[in-house]
Structure 1
Amino acid sequence: MTPSVNLRDPRVKRTRQLLLQAFIALVEEQHNLHSISVKEVAERATVNRATFYAHFEDKYALLQCWMHQKYHQRLTSQFPASSTLQLSTLRQLIQSVFDVLALFRSYLKPGDRQYEPLFENVLQQELYTLLLRWLKQVPSEVSLQEEVGETTAQVISWAILGPATQWSRGDQTVSAEEMTQRVLSVVIAGLSPVITVA
């Protein structure tokens, strides 16, 4: 996205939403991310290509924005602002990653494999953000220094995403529930000083 766009401007929000809606409609019609062009998205949104490029660098940036929005909404509905770092919420978060990756793979066409790293990057960023929020809410007597908290959130987000990605790309002979439990046991060890069992 170009830095000249003010995301707080209601007109900018409206235009971005039109572009996202147009993109989603085209995905649903064509069932193929690769074949969708910027021209088609702009025409469907009833804006010109220059307007598209004022909001997004290319269709991959639009796709990434859409993925962030979708996964962020899912996490927000599952984990409201009042949620905290507990064994139960951590288990639910890990299970969510396995579920989302399985769903993503079910929609992925052979020609769309190039989008896998983009989607996985979005998942990791959203996981990191949520984990960091939880770590910042830890009671002061066990809280981590800010830079340690950021590193912890980074490491744990990848510790969750790595096995989930490998599982989703494989034959999935082990159930998502079993994999969730395996990942949880490893992640808990890393978070033992700050996690509460509930």
Structure 2
Amino acid sequence: MFIQAFNDLLDEKRNIYSISVHDIANRAAVNRATFYAHFEDKFAFLAYWMTEKFQLILKKRLPDDAAFSPDNLYALVQTVFQFLVRFRQYLSLGDKQFEPMLENAMQKELYRLLLHWLKSGSKQSDPQEKLEATALVVSWGIFGSAMQWSREVHSRTLESMVEEVIEVVTVNLGAFWEQATG
């Protein structure tokens, strides 16, 4: 109910910075103490909101049981690029203060999904540290590329950027695909 209340307020106000905890609680028809029982502050709520929003978009593009594959990786990378472009369209100048925190929530979710894929497709002999490091490097490679591209005038198309990112990250993921399919 907090997310729905926040989304409704965002549709009305068109910016994040002017929406207070009081506004969210009122719209959700609960008191502020109830809000604070679930979230430490507005920043914790916004991180949760961004994670939920990104997860919802991912579920539309990738089913819950999506296996680790080149096609699913392509869909994931494309989704990250598209999501960040749309996300920037809704940020007002006052919302820039929230941008790093919201991006961090999104990157963590990307890391979580990649790590899940790597764990489910790897051999038992792969150390946890290697899986975590691979997921970290690949998630930041994808996310950083999408973030940079979404902030600039788009001199390259989304499709060409996705293709280039896929080309680079498959160097790191090739061995995992062989394990997952072999």
- Name the TM-score, length of structure 2 as normaliser: 0.91
Match of residue 83, structure 1, among 54, 62, 66: 66
Q: 1:57: which partner in 2? A: 40
Match of 2:87 in 1: 104
Q: CA RMSD in A?
A: 1.8
Q: Which ranges of structure 2 fall in alignment gaps of 5 or more residues?
A: none
Q: Secondary structure at the match of 2:164?
A: helix
Equivalent in the alignment of 2:164: 182
Matched residue of 2:105: which SS? Answer: helix
Aligned mates of 2:132, 2:9 — CA distance in 1: 38
Count, aligned residues: 180
State the shift of 1:187 in Å. 0.2
Q: Do 2:17 and 2:94's aligned partners in 1 also have CA atoms closer than 8 Å?
A: yes
CA displacement, residues 8-35 of structure 1 (integer Å, 9 cap, x when unaligned): xxxxxxxxxx222211111111111111
- Is 1:140 aligned to residue 108 of structure 2? no
CA contact (8 A) 2:62 2:75 kept: no
Post-superposition offset of 1:139: 5.0
Preserved contact between residue 128 and residue 153 of structure 1 (Cα < 8 Å) = yes
Moved more, 164-173 or 85-94: 85-94
1:24 alignment partner AA: N
Alpha-carbon distance in 1 for matches of 2:117, 2:73: 10
Partner-residue secondary structure (3-state), 1:57: coil
- Aligned counterparts of 1:191 and 1:24: Cα–Cα separation in 2: 37
Contact map agreement 2:78 2:162 (CA 8 A) in 1 = yes
TM-score, normalised to structure 1, is: 0.84
Report the Cα distance in structure 2 between the residues aligned to 1:185 and 1:145, rounded to whole angstroms. Answer: 25
**Distance in 1 (alpha carbons) for counterparts of 2:100 and 2:86:** 15
Deviations along 1:111-160, whole A, 9 cap, x unmatched? Answer: 1111211221122111111111111121538x622221111111110010
Residue 136 of structure 2: aligned partner: 154
Q: What is the alpha-carbon distance in structure 2 between the residues aligned to residue 69 and residue 118 of structure 1?
A: 14
Aligned position for 1:172: 154
Q: Which amino acid aligns with 1:186?
A: V
Matched-pair contact (CA < 8 Å) for 2:15–2:90: no
Give me the identity figure in percent: 45
Q: 1:110 to 1:191 in 2, by over 3 A?
A: same
Check the 8 A contact 1:135/1:144 in 2, yes or no.
no
Matched, 1:121 2:104: yes
Report the equivalent of 1:19: 2
Change in CA separation of 1:194 and 1:171 when aligned onto 2, cut-off 3 Å: same
Q: Secondary structure at the match of 1:73?
A: helix
Q: Which moved more, 1:129-138 or 1:93-102?
A: 129-138
SS in 1 for 2:175: coil
Q: Which has the higher helix share?
A: 2
